[in-house]
Amino acid sequence: GENVEQHPSTLSVQEGDSAVIKCTYSDSASNYFPWYKQELGKRPQLIIDIRSNVGEKKDQRIAVTLNKTAKHFSLHITETQPEDSAVYFCAAGLSGNTPLVFGKGTRLSVIA
Amino acid sequence: NAGVTQTPKFQVLKTGQSMTLQCAQDMNHNSMYWYRQDPGMGLRLIYYSASEGTTDKGEVPNGYNVSRLNKREFSLRLESAAPSQTSVYFCASSATENTGELFFGEGSRLTVL
Protein backbone atom coordinates (compact mmCIF):
# COMPACT_ATOMS: atom_id res chain seq x y z
CA GLY A 1 0.00 0.00 0.00
CA GLU A 2 0.84 3.68 -0.07
CA ASN A 3 3.43 5.08 2.34
CA VAL A 4 3.94 8.81 2.84
CA GLU A 5 7.05 10.26 4.46
CA GLN A 6 7.03 13.90 5.59
CA HIS A 7 9.96 16.11 6.56
CA PRO A 8 10.85 17.93 8.70
CA SER A 9 8.81 17.01 11.75
CA THR A 10 9.34 20.48 13.23
CA LEU A 11 10.24 23.75 11.54
CA SER A 12 10.85 27.20 13.00
CA VAL A 13 11.09 30.28 10.80
CA GLN A 14 11.25 34.00 11.36
CA GLU A 15 8.17 35.98 10.41
CA GLY A 16 8.42 37.01 6.77
CA ASP A 17 10.68 34.12 5.79
CA SER A 18 9.62 31.20 3.62
CA ALA A 19 8.85 27.68 4.83
CA VAL A 20 9.11 24.48 2.83
CA ILE A 21 7.72 21.09 3.83
CA LYS A 22 8.51 18.02 1.77
CA CYS A 23 6.74 14.69 1.30
CA THR A 24 7.57 11.54 -0.59
CA TYR A 25 5.16 8.78 -1.54
CA SER A 26 5.68 5.19 -2.57
CA ASP A 27 2.79 4.27 -4.88
CA SER A 28 3.38 5.61 -8.38
CA ALA A 29 -0.35 5.18 -9.10
CA SER A 30 -1.32 7.90 -6.58
CA ASN A 31 -2.76 10.93 -8.33
CA TYR A 32 -4.16 13.20 -5.63
CA PHE A 33 -2.01 15.15 -3.13
CA PRO A 34 -3.71 17.43 -0.60
CA TRP A 35 -2.28 19.45 2.26
CA TYR A 36 -4.13 19.99 5.53
CA LYS A 37 -3.49 22.56 8.25
CA GLN A 38 -4.37 21.86 11.86
CA GLU A 39 -4.24 24.70 14.36
CA LEU A 40 -3.78 23.84 18.01
CA GLY A 41 -6.87 22.11 19.38
CA LYS A 42 -8.73 22.37 16.08
CA ARG A 43 -9.70 20.03 13.28
CA PRO A 44 -7.54 19.57 10.15
CA GLN A 45 -8.64 21.71 7.22
CA LEU A 46 -7.68 21.52 3.56
CA ILE A 47 -5.50 24.40 2.42
CA ILE A 48 -4.43 23.32 -1.05
CA ASP A 49 -4.33 20.22 -3.21
CA ILE A 50 -2.80 19.14 -6.48
CA ARG A 51 -3.55 16.39 -8.95
CA SER A 52 -1.02 14.48 -10.99
CA ASN A 53 -1.73 16.26 -14.24
CA VAL A 54 -0.38 19.51 -12.77
CA GLY A 55 3.18 20.31 -11.70
CA GLU A 56 2.51 23.36 -9.55
CA LYS A 57 -0.42 25.17 -8.00
CA LYS A 58 -0.51 28.48 -6.15
CA ASP A 59 -3.01 30.16 -3.87
CA GLN A 60 -1.83 33.52 -2.58
CA ARG A 61 1.11 32.81 -0.23
CA ILE A 62 0.99 29.03 -0.49
CA ALA A 63 2.07 26.82 -3.36
CA VAL A 64 2.48 23.12 -3.92
CA THR A 65 4.84 21.46 -6.38
CA LEU A 66 4.71 17.88 -7.58
CA ASN A 67 7.44 15.77 -9.14
CA LYS A 68 5.84 12.51 -10.24
CA THR A 69 9.07 11.04 -11.53
CA ALA A 70 10.75 11.40 -8.15
CA LYS A 71 7.49 10.76 -6.28
CA HIS A 72 7.72 13.81 -4.09
CA PHE A 73 5.69 16.94 -3.50
CA SER A 74 6.28 20.04 -1.43
CA LEU A 75 4.38 22.83 0.29
CA HIS A 76 5.83 26.33 0.07
CA ILE A 77 4.64 29.16 2.29
CA THR A 78 6.04 32.60 1.52
CA GLU A 79 6.04 35.70 3.73
CA THR A 80 5.13 33.63 6.77
CA GLN A 81 2.94 35.14 9.46
CA PRO A 82 2.31 34.09 13.08
CA GLU A 83 -1.10 32.72 12.06
CA ASP A 84 0.68 30.21 9.82
CA SER A 85 1.87 28.46 12.99
CA ALA A 86 0.18 25.04 12.96
CA VAL A 87 0.72 21.39 12.14
CA TYR A 88 0.69 20.65 8.42
CA PHE A 89 -0.12 17.24 6.97
CA CYS A 90 0.50 16.02 3.47
CA ALA A 91 -1.44 13.10 2.03
CA ALA A 92 -1.50 10.96 -1.07
CA GLY A 93 -4.02 8.69 -2.70
CA LEU A 94 -5.63 7.35 -5.83
CA SER A 95 -8.92 8.88 -6.89
CA GLY A 96 -11.85 6.53 -6.62
CA ASN A 97 -9.82 3.85 -4.90
CA THR A 98 -8.37 3.50 -1.44
CA PRO A 99 -8.55 6.40 1.04
CA LEU A 100 -5.84 8.97 1.58
CA VAL A 101 -2.67 8.10 3.47
CA PHE A 102 -1.31 10.94 5.60
CA GLY A 103 2.22 11.89 6.51
CA LYS A 104 3.10 12.24 10.19
CA GLY A 105 2.88 16.02 10.13
CA THR A 106 5.16 19.05 10.43
CA ARG A 107 4.83 21.46 13.31
CA LEU A 108 5.56 24.93 11.92
CA SER A 109 6.34 27.76 14.31
CA VAL A 110 6.56 31.30 12.96
CA ILE A 111 8.53 33.50 15.31
CA ALA A 112 7.55 37.16 15.39
CA ASN B 1 -24.86 24.21 8.16
CA ALA B 2 -23.21 22.09 10.88
CA GLY B 3 -20.92 20.03 8.61
CA VAL B 4 -19.54 17.03 10.52
CA THR B 5 -20.66 16.62 14.12
CA GLN B 6 -19.16 14.04 16.47
CA THR B 7 -19.97 13.22 20.07
CA PRO B 8 -18.81 13.07 22.76
CA LYS B 9 -15.99 15.63 22.69
CA PHE B 10 -14.33 14.17 25.79
CA GLN B 11 -14.61 10.76 27.44
CA VAL B 12 -12.71 8.92 30.16
CA LEU B 13 -13.04 5.15 30.28
CA LYS B 14 -11.65 2.39 32.43
CA THR B 15 -9.88 -0.52 30.79
CA GLY B 16 -12.43 -3.04 29.56
CA GLN B 17 -15.35 -0.62 29.30
CA SER B 18 -17.14 -0.11 25.99
CA MET B 19 -18.32 3.01 24.26
CA THR B 20 -19.54 4.33 20.94
CA LEU B 21 -18.41 7.50 19.20
CA GLN B 22 -21.15 9.02 17.10
CA CYS B 23 -20.64 10.97 13.88
CA ALA B 24 -23.14 12.66 11.59
CA GLN B 25 -22.75 14.81 8.50
CA ASP B 26 -25.32 17.02 6.83
CA MET B 27 -23.55 17.57 3.50
CA ASN B 28 -25.04 14.56 1.71
CA HIS B 29 -21.57 13.04 1.40
CA ASN B 30 -21.18 9.45 0.28
CA SER B 31 -17.93 8.58 2.06
CA MET B 32 -17.16 8.71 5.78
CA TYR B 33 -14.03 7.92 7.77
CA TRP B 34 -12.72 7.45 11.28
CA TYR B 35 -9.14 8.49 12.05
CA ARG B 36 -7.12 8.49 15.22
CA GLN B 37 -4.44 11.07 15.94
CA ASP B 38 -1.56 10.36 18.27
CA PRO B 39 1.49 12.60 18.92
CA GLY B 40 4.06 12.16 16.20
CA MET B 41 1.94 9.61 14.34
CA GLY B 42 -0.18 11.79 12.13
CA LEU B 43 -3.70 10.75 11.15
CA ARG B 44 -4.19 7.02 10.89
CA LEU B 45 -7.28 5.53 9.30
CA ILE B 46 -9.25 3.12 11.45
CA TYR B 47 -12.25 2.31 9.25
CA TYR B 48 -14.03 3.92 6.37
CA SER B 49 -17.29 3.66 4.48
CA ALA B 50 -17.07 4.48 0.80
CA SER B 51 -20.85 4.55 0.48
CA GLU B 52 -23.93 3.69 2.48
CA GLY B 53 -24.01 -0.02 3.21
CA THR B 54 -20.25 -0.63 2.91
CA THR B 55 -17.43 -0.50 5.44
CA ASP B 56 -13.76 -1.37 5.12
CA LYS B 57 -10.76 -1.64 7.40
CA GLY B 58 -8.10 1.01 7.38
CA GLU B 59 -4.56 0.96 8.74
CA VAL B 60 -5.36 0.36 12.43
CA PRO B 61 -8.74 -1.43 12.77
CA ASN B 62 -7.95 -3.80 15.65
CA GLY B 63 -10.12 -3.23 18.72
CA TYR B 64 -12.74 -1.22 16.83
CA ASN B 65 -16.01 -1.83 15.02
CA VAL B 66 -18.07 0.54 12.89
CA SER B 67 -21.61 0.91 11.68
CA ARG B 68 -22.80 3.00 8.75
CA LEU B 69 -26.28 3.51 10.10
CA ASN B 70 -27.48 5.51 7.10
CA LYS B 71 -25.99 8.01 4.67
CA ARG B 72 -25.60 10.63 7.41
CA GLU B 73 -24.27 8.61 10.33
CA PHE B 74 -21.13 6.55 10.93
CA SER B 75 -20.38 5.28 14.42
CA LEU B 76 -17.20 3.85 15.93
CA ARG B 77 -17.40 1.34 18.76
CA LEU B 78 -14.76 0.25 21.24
CA GLU B 79 -15.95 -3.06 22.66
CA SER B 80 -13.30 -3.44 25.38
CA ALA B 81 -11.22 -0.30 25.74
CA ALA B 82 -7.46 -0.53 26.28
CA PRO B 83 -4.98 2.19 27.33
CA SER B 84 -3.45 1.97 23.81
CA GLN B 85 -6.72 3.40 22.51
CA THR B 86 -6.16 6.67 24.33
CA SER B 87 -6.18 9.12 21.45
CA VAL B 88 -8.00 11.91 19.67
CA TYR B 89 -10.53 10.51 17.23
CA PHE B 90 -11.67 12.39 14.15
CA CYS B 91 -14.61 11.59 11.95
CA ALA B 92 -14.49 12.91 8.40
CA SER B 93 -16.59 12.85 5.27
CA SER B 94 -16.10 13.49 1.57
CA ALA B 95 -18.44 13.80 -1.37
CA THR B 96 -16.88 10.81 -3.07
CA GLU B 97 -14.11 8.46 -2.09
CA ASN B 98 -10.74 10.10 -2.24
CA THR B 99 -11.56 12.55 -5.00
CA GLY B 100 -11.96 15.70 -3.01
CA GLU B 101 -11.83 17.54 0.25
CA LEU B 102 -12.15 15.73 3.55
CA PHE B 103 -14.31 17.57 6.05
CA PHE B 104 -13.39 16.74 9.63
CA GLY B 105 -15.39 16.86 12.82
CA GLU B 106 -14.04 18.69 15.87
CA GLY B 107 -12.54 15.54 17.35
CA SER B 108 -13.20 13.39 20.39
CA ARG B 109 -10.54 13.08 23.07
CA LEU B 110 -10.67 9.64 24.64
CA THR B 111 -8.64 8.61 27.69
CA VAL B 112 -8.54 4.98 28.79
CA LEU B 113 -7.23 4.43 32.31
Residues (pLDDT < 50) of chain B are: none
Q: Look at residue B72 and give its three-state secondary structure.
A: coil
Shortest CB distance from A99 goes to which of B42, B98, B106? B98
pLDDT at A64: 97
Contact B36, B102 (CB under 8 A): no
CA A43 to chain CA mean position, Å: 16
Q: Look at residue B59 and give its three-state secondary structure.
A: coil
pLDDT at B101: 85
How far apart are alpha carbons A59 and A50 in whole angstroms?
Answer: 11
pLDDT at A99: 87
Chain-chain contact of B42 with A103 (C-beta, under 8 angstroms): yes
CA angle A9, A10, A13 (to 5 degrees): 145
Contacts of A110 (CB under 8 A, 6+ apart): A12, A13, A14, A15, A19, A80, A81, A82, A83, A84, A85
A102 close contact with B: CB closer than 8 A: yes
pLDDT at A13: 98
pLDDT at A8: 97
Work out how many CB contacts closer than 8 A connect A with B: 55
Residues 48-77, chain A, touching B (beta carbon < 8 A):
49
pLDDT in tens, chain A (112 residues): 889 999 999 999 999 999 999 999 999 989 999 999 999 999 999 999 998 888 899 999 999 999 999 999 999 999 999 999 999 999 998 876 578 999 999 999 999 9
Of A42, A37, A30, the residue nearest A72 (C-alpha): A30
Tell me chain B's radius of gyration from C-alpha atoms: 13
First to last CA, chain B: 36
Residues 36-95, chain B, touching A (beta carbon < 8 A):
40-45, 48, 58-59, 90
Buried (b) or exposed (e) across A2-26, using 16+ Cβ within 10 A? Answer: bebebbeeebebeeeeebbbbbbbe
Shortest CB distance from A89 goes to which of B42, B59, B99? B42
Pick the residue from chain A with its C-alpha nearest to B5: A43
Handedness of CA A34, A37, A38, A42 (dihedral sign): negative
Of B96, B105, B107, the residue nearest B4 (C-alpha): B105
For A77-97, how does the pLDDT look when each residue is reduced to its tens digit (9 = 90+)?
Answer: 999 999 999 999 999 988 765
- CA–CA min distance B80, chain A (Å): 27
